[in-house]
Structure 1
Amino acid sequence: MHPRLLTIIICLLGLLTAGTAAQERARVELNRQIILTQRQTIIRDNLTLTEAEAAAFWPLYREYHAAIEPLGDPLVDRLLKFAQSPATLSELQAGQLLDAWLDFEEALLATRRQWVARFRAVLPASKVTRFYQLENKLDAFLRHDIAQKIPLTP
């Protein structure tokens, strides 16, 4: 496993510890910033760009992640609540958790589709494809770690 990826996963471990709602939200925001920085480094190390491509890509990349970040807020809130007391999950809460997950997945896919044309405007299709592959791999590592930490619903 890439050492930087391990750092990302370790940062996520702090998401599921007990604390007040304000502490949890602050921890999530700090982890987001750490993860974004690590993602940028991993993308930079694995996506070979010319100087001109990099000058066009990186500002667009930051805009892209600014658009993606808030999509998961409702899901993160539900997951944090669930992780604090999984045994007391009501039917209503279970439905809300599922809806939040599906809403996030739909919004994420729609946002990624919207951004493809913008990335293709500044990079060749092969590099845009590689970028999306890297994003997908990073997401898969994060999801795997989260899946290990979040218990199944009762």
Structure 2
Amino acid sequence: MLAEEPAASQQGEDATEAPAVFTSDGGIKVWIEAPGILRVKLPHNAVIAGRHAESAADLIRTLADGHRYPTLLDLSGVLSVSRKARNVYGHPQAVAAYALLGNGPVDRVLAHFFLGAGPLEMPVQYFVCEAEALAWLGTHAENH
């Protein structure tokens, strides 16, 4: 875990108990926000290698503390994700469901690699709208 900062979506005068955002190796940001959604933001213009995914997975397991969370994986603007990194994300221990969020043709291709990486152990769906992704994840949320 390299850094901790308030979540960008929660900053400002109206912020109430903004979740802490942790940055893993490779610049991957991870945080848990109400109502029990785990968020993973891959950095723009990044090439995500296996070691980056492993570092983020270690952080996610620590934050999850034995629980499984519906997870929003934002891959908007990522250049590529290695096969090893896709395998790490495809076999998580702390994820109950994945909403993959993207906004362009490259993001859609990356999401299809995730979706086709093999049999996944949880529900997975690709979204271009964050609000729809969060609503879908809300159907997979449990009280933690």
Shorter-normalised TM-score: what interval? 0.3 to 0.5
Larger-Rg structure:
1
The higher relative CO (CA closer than 8 Å, separation ≥ 6) is in 1
> Which is helix-richer, 1 or 2?
1
- Using the size of structure 2 for normalisation, the TM-score is 0.33
